[in-house]
Amino acid sequence: MILSTTVLITAVRSLAKSPYWQAVYSFSKEQGCNMFDNQRDFTNLQITFINYLEFYASLHMDVAMNEITDIIFEDEIYEDAYAYYRRHKKEKADKKPAPENQNSWVFTRPVKKK
C-alpha cells in the first residue's frame, strides 16, 4: 500500500505533537540517547519527523512562556501561521541596525570616542 505525501505528513505531525514523542525528544536532547536504531544516514522521513519534533517543542515552549495560548494546537493552520509570523518577526529584528553608541558584540569593550 502506498500512502500519499499528505497522509504521511499528517501522520508524522500527529506523532510529533503527541506527549509521548515530545517527552522522548526532550529526553534524547538532554541525555544524549538515540531515538532511532541508526546513528547516522537518516532517511527523509526520519529527518522530517525530527524537524516536526523541534517545531512542536518550540511551540510548547512559547505556550509555557505565555507568548501564545494553547489554542494554537487546535488547528495545523494556526501552528503554521504562528511559525511563519515568528520567523518573519525574528528576521525583521535581525535586520534592525544596532544603535551607534553600542557595540554589536556582547563581550567586547566599547570603543572610546576622543
The share of the chain scoring above pLDDT 70, in percent, equals 84
pLDDT in tens, 68-91: 999 999 999 999 999 999 999 888
Q: Predicted confidence band at 110 (pLDDT cuts at 50, 70, 90)? A: low
pLDDT for the residue 3? 78
Question: 15-51: string of b/e by CB count within 10 Å (b at 16+)?
Answer: ebbeeebeeebeeeeeeeeeeeeeeeeeeeeeebbbe
Closest CA to 45 of 74, 3, 84: 3
pLDDT in tens, 11-41: 999 999 999 999 999 999 888 888 888 888 8
